[in-house]
Structures are given as structure tokens and as C-alpha cells.
Structure 1
Amino acid sequence: MHRSIDWADGAIVVIDQTALPAEYRLLELRTIGELAGAIKRLAVRGAPALGAAGALGVALSAHLGGDVRADAELIANARPTAANLAWGVERALAKLPAGKDAVLAEALALLTEDEELNKAASAHAAEIVLAECPRRPLRLLSHCNTGRLATVGWGSALGVVWHLHERGLVESVLVGETRPLLQGARLTAWELAQAGVPYRVHADSAAAAAMARGLVDCVLVGADRIAANGDVANKIGTYGLAITARHHGVPFVVVAPSSTVDSKLADGARITIEERDARELTEYAGVPITPPGAEVFNPAFDITPAALITAVVTEHGRFRPWLSSPGARS
């Protein structure tokens, strides 16, 4: 399957990311309930991929003859932090007056654009990384999953690795396991292996030690929402990586399509942070690992202040907060 999410025979088809790396499995989502469930349990995840899911969900509802606006609200609220999900929903919903075929055409156009925009964003970011990091070949550190699985078919931050690897400029990638659902160890490592890029998986808590030992030239991450001032919401643990990178003088680069920028939000303090199920921490493979009744703090994301970020990069190049208006880009 070329794309991580697509439309075929009246269904939304996604790679089931909960099954990887043990099994490569496709899901055919034929109802809005199935789509919302897949989003909530992270069978489809990653901000750009969620934008595609939102648009395709509206198209699916229209083709089923459902209450499209009610279904659109249900989809948009499935994961509150990712800006792209509601953006994709709204973009497809705008075509509803023109009929279901127009809605589907818009959703499919969004899929094609996503691949192109992420290739452009990661190409811009690759040049910024090369300008910031004199060492060759590069030793990069990634967090969560930002490859084709998190997008429609290329990748955001991991797309930078693809560009640099094609030029023979990557020595290796350190892959943070990304607790508690291990998107780095399960998904990013799988993508790197598929592409033949050397990598090592490390415990999230080992990132500081790796930087202290001089093993990291640049940190590359994606984003789920970017405020107008450049604050970034991303997978939990990103903020700590940014603090560590700043302490050790390691460039910290965020890569995302411009649809991730929420110009309505002045700063990151206004971003809603999703809280996940406590069982993600209290159980492992269904087996309890904490004392009965243990209280849990399980935010899915954190906010990294713009001051800690070397560059936020979209398909337009380096993001320039407050240049002329909130969300302005160069």
C-alpha cells in the first residue's frame, strides 16, 4: 500500500498502526463509528494522516447518506489536540453544498497535496539541518513517528531523514521508544528498517545521556498543533527533549505542514491536551503492572515553547511567528 490512508470501493483504507511491526494489516473502515474508533485507538494517527482521515470521514458520511454535519463533529472531536483533524473535516465539509462527489474529490485532493507538502517541508528542513550541523554524516534523533505512517505517504520530520539518506548524509538515527505506546520503537524503527537507514532504539530516558556523550547532531520532531507564536504541541516527551537539546547546544527542528499551524491560538497555553486511558500505564499487554488503584497522569502531548526551538519548518520554509499577522509564514 503506497499510502498509509486512502479511499477504495466506498471505504477508508488504512494501515493498522496498532498491529505493526508484528503484522502489516489493512483496515477497511465503512462506518463513521469504525473511523472514530480507529482514530481513538491510534490505528490511524499522526497529524497529517488525521487531516486526511477527517476529510475522508466527511466524504464517507456523505456517501452513506448520514447526518454529515453531526458525523463531522464526531470525527473532529475524536482527538482534540491535533489541528489537522478538524482542519481536514472543515475543508471537506465546505464542499457539501456541491454534493457528495465534490466532497470526495476534495478529500482525495487533500491526500495528494499532503504528500507534496510534506516532501516540500522536509526538503526545506533538510537544508536547515545541513546549515545548522557541520558534522558529516549526521547522527539524528527522532521522537514518536513522523514518517509515511503519520502522513499520507512521505513523512514530516522523518521525511528529512529520507532526503538526507538519499544523499548519503545520514550515519544513523537514534529512535526514542516513545512511551507508553512505543510509536518510535514499533513504527519509526520499522520504517527506517524498510528504508535501509541505520538506526538504534533507545529508552526515552536515555536521550539526555546520548546528547551528553556527543552522539546527537540534531533532534527532529513533528507537531500536532503549532500556535501563532511558534509554541508546539507534540507527543509527550518532546518538551523534555527540547530542554535537553538546548542545554547541550543541539539544534531542535520541528517539521509539519502549514495546516498544523493554528493561527487562532496566540500561544501554546491555549492548546487542549488530550489525556489518554490510564490503562496505557497501569497495564502491559493486558497484565497489571502497578498496584491496584494507582492514580495516573497520562497526557498524550506536551507544549514546547518557541524559545527552545531552532526552527519550525513548513512547506513554505521557516515559520516566522508574528511577522505580519498571527500564523504568518515566510
Structure 2
Amino acid sequence: MFRKVLMAVAATGMAVTPVHATQMPPLRPALVQRLALTCTAQGALEHGFGDVWTGPSQQVLDPEEGAHNRIEITRTARTQQIYDLSATISYERLPGTTLEDRYAAADALYASLETAIADNGRYENRREGQYGGWTWDVPGSDVTLSLTHNSRVAVTLTCNDHSLEVQHVNETLGNGRVTRPLKPVLELPPPVEAAGCHDPGQARAVTATFMTVAMQALDHGNAASRYSDHLADWWGQQLVDAGVWTKATQEAFVLRGARDPVVIRELRQQMPRAQAMLDAMMAYADADEAGDTGAACTAAVRGLDVIRAITASNETQRNSMLTRYRTEAARLGVTLED
């Protein structure tokens, strides 16, 4: 079963907690009320619009919820300010249930949320949503609340700040000046030796968080790549501002960076690391499905070691790029701010 969940994660990017239920989880009124009241002009789901966020883009919404669930945090392209927050609950994969059961559970959740949102009177101007479902305005702001049920087995509630979304579009298009980028953060658990997996308590601690950490690492890898691109733009802009580069010079320098021997070496090593990471995740899935906590822990330790190697390689590539820019800036008599 967990192998199927893993493949679903790879396809959808959903942060999950393995589910071993044998029946449909009950509809929880407290969760319904939390979601129905969460969207305000200031933010939602315990996050604020405009807050700088360098952590993972997905979090578990409610660890007590039996169905797969996640919060998704969307940020502006360069300044990393939160502008969109969504919560999704999916009944797609629940052992011991029929497809009709899962349809019914999602329908019931959608209906309960729709009723609770209407009853609380906090939102106005209900209308059909752009992607189906319903959309409401948060009075006195550019914030909207949307409720969608596009998948028969999942429900998503989204709180969006339109003004910050416009800023995100402008940042994506490169409009305006480049601001100092913010380095993404990946918090990894302390290293554990494989021998520690013989301790049942330690093995459970390692396996309990492995899949969440693995998905956060994948997200961090994408964020780290964007961060490096933004750094290059930031440093290039400083050299253009100093009058020692033109835009054409900047673009040519970026292209030459593709021949950096350090970057080439590290990229070649990243490919087998990616395969090793996939192998570790599949080994973890097999062991988890078999109920072998020790083997699952061993696979998780191996996977975490690979994540650390990938993260270190990204840092090595970024430092090499910084050295190239600093060397060029020094040659031209400019000191870069980084």
C-alpha cells in the first residue's frame, strides 16, 4: 500500500502521513470550523500575507486527520512573500474503503465547508470560482477565499491576496529592480548511524519523519535553484549599476558560467545521487509495507545521507558561482554585496 502512496506523492507533490485506517475517518467539526474561519485580510492557516517564508512550501495541515492533508504555501518569485495559502484534504487512498465511500466523504466535507463558510457571515459576494466551486471576497481587502472540489475525492480551500499575486507576476517577468534574494532553509534531523536502527525507539523516530523530510528536500532543491538564479541576477545588477557591465555583458557572463568545471563536476555527481535517493525511498516503502521498522530506518538513514550530499553539492555550486562573480567584480574595481 505504501508504495502506491509513494507513487502518488511523486505525481502530486502532496505531503502525507502514511494512513493505516480500515474505515473512513469521521468528519471532524473542529477542522471544518477552523478552515471555514481561517481566511482573513491578514492571512490564513497560521501564516500571514506578505510574510517572508523560506521554509518548505508544503506542510501537514492536521496530523490527527485520517485523510491525507496538506497546507501549500505560495510565495512571490523573488522576495519570497506569502501571497497564496491553500489547504487540501484528499480521500484518494484509504485502505479498506470503496471508491464510493471516498466520493461520499469528500462530498460531505465540501458541503460542510460550504455551509460553514456561508453561516459565519465573514465573507461576501459569493460567485462561481474561476476553477469551479465557489469564491468569496474578504471585505475591505484584495483577498479572496475559494472552495473547490475538482477532484471527486479531494477538497481544497484557498486564501489568496491578489495584490501580492500581481507583485509575484511582475517579479517572475523580471519587471522592476532585483532585490536581495533570500536563501531557502531546509531543516534536517541530526545524522544517525545505521547501527542506531537496531534501537526500536530510534528507528521509529527516524521513520516517522522520513517521507516528510524527503518531500521537503525535493522542494528545497527547486527553491535552491531559483535562489542561485536570483543571486546571479542580483550580482549582475550591481555590476550594471556600477557602470562596468551592460545587459549584454551580463547575459554573456551567465552563459559562460555553464562551462564552470566545478558546476559541471557537481552536476555529474548529482545524477547518481538522485538515483540513490529514489532507491532509498523505494526501499523505505517496501520495508514500511512489510512492517519492518529496522529496514525502513536503514533505508531512511541512507536517504537522509544522500539528501545531505545533494544539499552540500548545491552549496558548492553556488559558492563557485559567487567566486566567479567576485573575481570579475574585483577585476573591474567593484565590491559586490551578497
The alignment's TM-score, normalised by the length of structure 2, stands at: 0.25
Structure 1 or 2, whichever has the larger Rg, is 2
Structure with the higher fraction of residues in strand conformation: 1
Task: Give the TM-score, by structure 1 length.
Answer: 0.25
